[in-house]
Each structure stands twice: as C-alpha cells, then as structure tokens.
C-alpha cells in the first residue's frame, strides 16, 4: 500500500506543478500570462524532478503508466503490481487537476477561449494528423522510457539521484520534440486531467476533445513497449 500511495503522491506533484505552469502561462490575468513555450517546458521539467525526487524512495517513482509497463516488460518490475500502480497514477493526476481548477478558478472564468481552458488540462495537436500525432507521442515516450530503463535500478524503478537527469530529459523532449502535440508522453498526465475537465463545472469550458484523447494514451504506451523491446535486444 505504501508504494501505491507513493505513486499517488509522485503523480500528484508532477501534475499539479505541470498543469500549474500551463494555467499560469495560458489563462488570462495571471502574472505569468503569455510566458511562452519555453517557460512551460521548464515548468514541466521541474514538475517531473519534484515528482521523481519525492516518490523515488517510496515507489520507485514511475509516475507514468508507460514507464510502469515498460519496466515490467524489461523484467525490472513485478507484473502483479502494475494495475495498482496505474490506478494510483490516475488517482494522483485527477486530484491534482481538480485542485488546479480551484486554484485558478477566477482565471478560468476570465478566459473565454474553450481550447485554452482544455489546454490547461490536456494536450492537443498543433496540426491535426492522426498518424503523425500518434507517431510524435510514441517517439517522445520511446526516448523517455529508453533512458529511464538505463537509469532504473533492478526490481524497483528510479531513485532520488535520478530525479535531475529525468527532469532534464523531459525538458529536452519538450524543447526538441514537443511542439507537435504538446508531448503528453504519459497516459495518466493527459487522460486523468481530461476526465477532470469533463466532470468539473468549469464555466464555458466546451467539450473535452474525446476524439483525440486515445492518441496521448496509446501513443505513449506504444512508445514505452517499443523502448522495452529495444532495451531487451541491445547487448548493453
């Protein structure tokens, strides 16, 4: 149970800081409004650093279903724990999304654009192209998970010493590959807050873009599985 709570906590910290920077930059009348893509990248990188650092000693800091499944495929994590870890990650993400809405409630109300409001919670493609959007999420997650597999300790996951490298890795992915889809690279990061968006009474929110929602779920899962396969085939 402690490990599951660690995943709830780690994912909660990841999402509350990540959605927080998205809200601060995107919503109207915040002091960070218009801060730009680079600020969002740095905010998410720091969010990953904090989430990993805090939960590493408790759960191994997966905080991402794609990472959990890849570690299991690679033989670094027990399959029996996979469902509980994934549920915990979604619980942490949804709680964080609800608290972000409360925190920025006045600014959500000051923002008219429905897409901007949804963009605080979940990702969307810069140019809609189903195959390319899927490929972008798969590629970004492949890079993330392959690196994590080399950082992860046997039978555990990440340690606190890996928090900074993983944060910088996510920063690099965002800067280099993230401009096409907003680099969810984590099913819980996108689907959890998207569910919160659908359920919360956000004034003038519009739809939750469920038509696109499968891509930031299955793209990252495919990337994680591919990374685990490549990791297993490599002689080092």
126-135: pLDDT as tens digits: 999 999 999 9
79 Cβ neighbours under 8 A, 6+ residues apart: 72
Decide: 56 and 160 in contact? Cβ < 8 Å: yes
Mean pLDDT of 221-231: 97
Mean pLDDT of 112-133: 97
CATH code of residue 223: 1.20.1080.10
Q: For 60-83, write each residue's pLDDT tens digit.
A: 999 999 999 999 999 999 999 999
Decide: 57 and 159 in contact? Cβ < 8 Å: yes
More confident residue, 154 or 52: 52
More confident residue, 163 or 97: 97
- Check residue 22 and give its pLDDT: 98
- Check residue 158 and give its pLDDT: 75
What is 119-149 written as a DSSP string?
HHHS---SS--HHHHHHHHHHHHHHHHHHHH
Q: For 145-181, write each residue's pLDDT tens digit.
A: 999 999 876 666 777 777 898 999 999 999 999 999 9
Give the global pTM.
0.95
Decide: 158 and 148 in contact? Cβ < 8 Å: yes
- Check residue 132 and give its pLDDT: 98
**Domain extent for 125:** 2-233
Nearest C-alpha neighbor of 187 from the set 56, 114, 92, 73: 92
What is the percentage of the chain residues whose pLDDT exceeds 90?
A: 92
Mean pLDDT of 106-134: 97
**Mean of the per-residue pLDDT values of the chain:** 95
- Check residue 155 and give its pLDDT: 64
Q: For 179-196, write each residue's pLDDT tens digit.
A: 999 999 999 999 999 999
How many structural domains compose the chain?
1
- Check residue 5 and give its pLDDT: 97
């Amino acid at each position: 149970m402690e490990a599951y709570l660690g995943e709830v906590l780690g994912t909660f910290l990841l999402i509350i800081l990540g959605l927080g920077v998205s809200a601060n930059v995107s919503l109207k009348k915040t002091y960070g409004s218009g801060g730009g893509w680079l600020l969002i990248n740095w905010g998410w990188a720091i969010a990953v650093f904090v989430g990993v650092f805090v939960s590493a000693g408790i759960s191994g800091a997966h905080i991402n279903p794609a990472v959990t499944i890849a570690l299991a495929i690679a033989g670094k994590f027990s399959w029996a724990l996979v469902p509980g870890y994934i549920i915990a990650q979604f619980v942490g993400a949804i709680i964080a999304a609800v608290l972000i809405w409360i925190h920025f409630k006045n600014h959500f109300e000051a923002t008219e654009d429905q897409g901007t409001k949804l963009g605080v919670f979940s990702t969307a493609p810069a140019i809609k192209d189903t195959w390319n959007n899927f490929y972008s999420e798969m590629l970004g997650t492949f890079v993330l998970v392959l690196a994590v597999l080399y950082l992860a300790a046997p039978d555990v996951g990440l340690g606190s010493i890996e928090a900074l490298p993983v944060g910088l890795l996510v920063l690099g992915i965002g800067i280099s590959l993230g401009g096409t889809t907003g680099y969810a690279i984590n099913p819980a990061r996108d689907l959890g807050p998207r569910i919160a968006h659908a359920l919360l009474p956000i004034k003038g929110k519009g739809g939750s873009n469920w038509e696109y929602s499968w891509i930031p779920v299955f793209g990252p899962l495919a990337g994680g599985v591919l990374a685990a396969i490549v990791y297993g085939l490599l002689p080092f």
